[in-house]
Structure 1
Amino acid sequence: MQAETESASHSTPVQRDFSGLWIPLVTPFDGDRIDHAALKRLVAHYRGSGSAGLVVCGSTGEAAALSDEEQMEVLHAVLAEARGLPVIMGLSGYHLGKTAARIRALGAEGISGILLPAPSYIRPSQAGLIEWFGALADASAVPLILYDIPYRTGSTLDLATLLALASHPRICAIKDCGGDPAKTQALIADGRLQVLAGEDMNIFSTVSQGGHGAIAAAAHVHTQRFVRIVELLRAGETAQANALWAPLLPLIEGLFSEPNPGPLKALMAHQGLLRDGLRSPMTRASAALAERLQRLDKSIGS
């Protein structure tokens, strides 16, 4: 780990529980502008859902299509409406100094944590990844949730790397999209990082094995059912959880059969939660898929 920065101290480990079901909030658009009215309604809608909190400016939130200024607009709008509901901020970058500066600034925003992937495109060594995450954790006043998603970043976080990073007092959890069940099980067994399923299809397996929860895009719909599934699994009530989980599987598959969040926004628009708009190069879901999602959604019921 790098030397301590002025903005943070290792003296007192951060204590933060990221267990439960988190919603990686979509960013609603009105034409090419952020739809702040719809964003406010979404936060109010999910505030009473029983979810653990919201993740803003993640991949589901189309953060890559937002300027830094727009990302802060979204964060401030969500925080203003959250009323105590925990908020995690997604942040990516590949310039260490600029990313550390943003992390230091975010520490004053009242967020509960920062979701941080490996730097994209660069594909550093494992030693480079330890240096990267360690330096950014040193710069942070709030907990970091590692985002292991090699199919987006081009970098795989090896188990040994994750275990080394788990010793940092401000690296507290992982959003697990690594695609390696053995690594997931090893992290759960180690116990130092709270393991959150990042692939929606893996929620049941991850939490039933001892994972702490999930960050699930599909949970924008049937949110209370997803919350209950996680609760039941953490309580060891696998059969009851499976009875609620099985009907969701075709819907989850449909929501990711075209690039996320296009299908999700199509279904949410049908439900009247937002306009069906995305920023290029993301595109709206096909009409056939939108109709199929509506049928699948209706078939699940309450």
Structure 2
Amino acid sequence: MLTQDFSGLWVPLVTPFDGDVVDHGALRRLVRRLGQEGATGFVACGSTGEAASLDKAEQRAVLDTVLQAAGPLPVVMGVSGYHLPQMLAWMRELGDCPLHGWLVPPPHYIRPSQAGLVAWFTAIADEAQAPIVVYDIPYRTGVTLSLDTLRELAAHPRIQAIKDCGGDARKTEALLADGRLQVLAGEDAQIFGTLAAGGVGAIAASAHLATQRFARLTALLREGRLAEARALWRALAPLVDAVFAEPNPALIKAQLALQGEMANTLRLPMTAASAEGARRVAAAMTAL
């Protein structure tokens, strides 16, 4: 099994809409702009992309557009669910796509045991055509992947990285010390701390905005140039705080709409950002 590198700045893409349909033109332009401004790669159909509100045909069409627009840059596909045969069938259906990896969270709603989580990820990894990035995000799934579970999963040759949204600094540090999983900051507010401690990169929704600065921050941290990175991070932190003041991706879409890149449209149950929230993000961008 080919070992992939997941280091660098990954952007979990929003899904632009034109009315009630996906705006593939806006998505294509967004991917190209982000690539030109320093994104290492892209995540299609993650939570930032409102994937739960897209049917399978829409998800496949989004993935095809992202792959086409990304050119040589790598693409990871988000897949989630709690029905294992359906998950595996969907991954097989996408097996013809040149994916760099799969972003896979625990099954939501069910709250399985740690043994169940090991069995779940193992079954998926056994059949995966590309490496797995484990998405540890307890506040969305209702279940926490323990350190022992992650260490057990790290032994699988197709499980190669973790998007770390677990909120447990000791677990993050232990994974970094273990060294078998590439650790990616999954919470934008933890980019500096995770990379300074040895993480390989970030999957950062905020990097739709000020992309060049986030790419520069990632590079500086990976080079160990902490003083320069610290100054840049302090400038970016107000933008990160502003972007996540309301449910993601409402505020990112509001700013992208202000910049003329897409309509400010989300699908229920997601709703548009408040005017005050949008003003705060715009002000943070102006301050940069």
Under a length normalisation based on structure 1, what TM-score does the superposition of the two structures give?
0.94
Query: Equivalent residue for 2:286?
Result: 298
Query: Equivalent residue for 1:151?
Result: 139
Q: Find the aligned partners of 2:37 and 2:93 in 1 and give their Cα distance.
A: 30
Query: Equivalent residue for 1:4?
Result: none
Large movers: runs of 4+ above 4 Å:
none
Alignment of 1:84-163 (within 5 A): 84-163=72-151
Alignment partner of 1:232 is 2:220: yes
Structure 1 residue corresponding to 2:273, chosen from 278, 281, 285: 285
Q: Per-residue deviation at 1:107?
A: 2.7
Whichever residue aligns with residue 192 of structure 1, its letter is: R
Q: Find the aligned partners of 2:101 and 2:19 in 1 and give their Cα distance.
A: 30
Q: How many residues align?
A: 288
Instruction: List per-residue Cα deviations over 1:55-79 (Å, max 9, x = no partner).
Output: 0100000000100111001001111
Instruction: List per-residue Cα deviations over 1:134-187 (Å, max 9, x = no partner).
Output: 000001010000000000001100000000000000000000000100000000
8 A Cα contact 1:36 1:77, kept in partner: yes
Instruction: List per-residue Cα deviations over 1:63-106 (Å, max 9, x = no partner).
Output: 00100111001001111111111000000010111111112232
Aligned partner of residue 245 in structure 2, secondary structure: coil
Structure 1: gaps (5+ residues): 1-12
Instruction: List per-residue Cα deviations over 1:20-40 (Å, max 9, x = no partner).
Output: 010000000011110111111
Q: Find the aligned partners of 1:90 and 1:27 in 2 and give their Cα distance.
A: 13
Structure 1 residue corresponding to 2:176, chosen from 168, 179, 188: 188
Structure 2 residue corresponding to 1:64, chosen from 52, 62, 84: 52
Aligned partner of residue 54 in structure 1, secondary structure: strand
Q: Per-residue deviation at 1:49?
A: 1.9
Q: Find the aligned partners of 1:14 and 1:130 in 2 and give their Cα distance.
A: 22
Alignment partner of 1:211 is 2:199: yes
Whichever residue aligns with residue 63 of structure 1, its letter is: A
Instruction: List per-residue Cα deviations over 1:238-296 (Å, max 9, x = no partner).
Output: 00001111011111111111100001100111111111000011011101111121111
Q: Find the aligned partners of 1:56 and 1:16 in 2 and give their Cα distance.
A: 17
Q: Percent identity?
A: 58
Whichever residue aligns with residue 198 of structure 1, its letter is: G
Q: Find the aligned partners of 2:130 and 2:280 in 1 and give their Cα distance.
A: 41
Whichever residue aligns with residue 270 of structure 1, its letter is: L
Query: Equivalent residue for 2:259?
Result: 271
Whichever residue aligns with residue 248 of structure 1, its letter is: L
8 A Cα contact 1:14 1:169, kept in partner: no
Q: Find the aligned partners of 1:107 and 1:143 in 2 and give their Cα distance.
A: 12
Under a length normalisation based on structure 2, what TM-score does the superposition of the two structures give?
0.99
Q: Find the aligned partners of 1:168 and 1:20 in 2 and give their Cα distance.
A: 23
8 A Cα contact 1:117 1:146, kept in partner: yes
Query: Equivalent residue for 2:32?
Result: 44
Q: Find the aligned partners of 2:134 and 2:2 in 1 and give their Cα distance.
A: 15
Q: Find the aligned partners of 2:166 and 2:126 in 1 and give their Cα distance.
A: 24
Whichever residue aligns with residue 269 of structure 2, its letter is: P
Instruction: List per-residue Cα deviations over 1:178-235 (Å, max 9, x = no partner).
Output: 0100000000000000000000000000000000000000000111111111111111
Alignment partner of 1:179 is 2:167: yes
Alignment partner of 1:75 is 2:58: no
Aligned-residue CA RMSD in angstroms? 0.8
Whichever residue aligns with residue 236 of structure 1, its letter is: G
